[in-house]
């Protein structure tokens, strides 16, 4: 049987993607709006998406669709229960950004911990040039050595973040949570993570139980010197609560690579936060050239394995 493959948001994967080896037809679109999904997938047996939403109403109109291949790890954009009802398999990408995401985490941690943005601005404003000394020490600088990082999520990016943290001489705590849990990882209660950590880094999926995982009550329990880093999913942190915490000095700073609505509208509240202790990047932590090449290879390997009858990286 020849498969008909449709890639709905090809431009979201900025690298070469080779075609599967089995017999197939192929169509790709640079991007797809929600009202275009059903018409573009009428004849598809396999769809490739990165962040396009597929809800039950759409899936009910696609009787030929048999496989959703996600060019990402997270699958919160898909109605998984509907896929189960309609017999649609779902596969995702795993363990491809194990260096890219942790490195992005520490790019933000170091910039915030050592006040990089303020010092860069000082040089641009001519403050160093006016200094009476060889250096201009206008802002606090803090080492990571000896501090504690709390990691929420002990998957591959969480463990990769822990590896870098230990190299800096940090104490590493992994947050306890509902099952499933990784073996051979010592877990600490979520409450103690909030209380003890100098840096908190999120590496968990967005689910009904993790949405608004961190709100104002959790932020109030944190140390005043804590840095909150989110490279996982928008929605894990209540954004209004985050802004309040930054304004009131409840936390020392935050670095976010994700927000609730992506891409954001111009009036998104986090876009209006103009503070030296807040860094917002446009969901790029995963997208190093090296990680993208791994993703593209695994994407097609996943599809080929499913067509051959093998269950590899299968969610449903």
Catalytic residue IDs: 233, 262, 283
Number of continuous H segments (helices) and E segments (strands) in the chain: 10, 12
Over the Cα atoms of the chain, what is R_g? 22
Is residue 63 packed enough to be buried (19+ CB in 10 Å), middle (13-18) or exposed (0-12)? exposed
Question: What distances in angstroms separate CA 85 from CA 2, 90, 191, 200, 297, one per listed residue?
Answer: 24, 12, 38, 38, 30
* DSSP states along 146-165: T-EEEEE--SHHHHHHHHHH
Measured in whole angstroms, the distance separating CA 118 from the mean position of its chain's CA atoms is 26
3-state helix, strand, coil in the chain (%, to 5): 35, 15, 50
């Amino acid at each position: 049987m020849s498969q008909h493959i449709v890639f709905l948001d090809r431009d979201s994967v900025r690298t070469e993607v080779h075609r599967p080896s089995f017999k197939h037809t192929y169509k790709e679109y640079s991007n797809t709006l929600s009202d275009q999904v059903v018409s573009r997938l009428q004849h598809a047996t396999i769809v490739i998406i990165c962040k396009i939403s597929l809800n039950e109403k759409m899936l009910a109109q696609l009787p030929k669709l048999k496989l959703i291949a996600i060019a990402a790890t997270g699958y919160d954009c898909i109605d998984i229960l509907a896929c189960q009802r309609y017999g649609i398999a779902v596969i995702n990408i795993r363990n491809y950004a194990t260096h890219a995401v942790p490195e992005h985490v520490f790019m933000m941690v170091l910039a915030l911990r050592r006040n990089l943005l303020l010092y860069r601005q000082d040089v641009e404003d001519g403050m160093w040039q006016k200094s009476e000394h060889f250096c201009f020490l206008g802002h606090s600088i803090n080492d990571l050595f000896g501090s504690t990082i709390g990691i929420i999520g002990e998957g591959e990016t969480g463990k990769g973040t822990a590896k870098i943290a230990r190299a800096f001489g940090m104490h590493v705590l992994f947050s306890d949570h509902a099952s499933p849990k990784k073996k051979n990882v010592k877990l600490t209660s979520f409450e103690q993570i909030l209380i003890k950590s100098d840096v908190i880094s999120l590496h968990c999926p967005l689910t009904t139980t993790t949405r608004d995982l961190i709100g104002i009550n959790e932020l109030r329990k944190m140390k005043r010197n804590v840095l909150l880093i989110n490279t996982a999913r928008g929605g894990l942190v209540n954004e209004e609560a985050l802004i309040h915490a930054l304004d009131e000095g409840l936390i020392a700073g935050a670095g976010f690579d994700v927000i609730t609505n992506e891409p954001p509208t111009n009036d998104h509240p986090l876009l209006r936060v103009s503070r030296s202790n807040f860094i917002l990047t446009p969901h790029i932590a995963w997208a190093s050239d090296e990680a993208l090449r791994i993703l593209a290879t695994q994407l097609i390997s996943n599809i080929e394995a499913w067509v051959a009858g093998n269950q590899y990286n299968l969610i449903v």
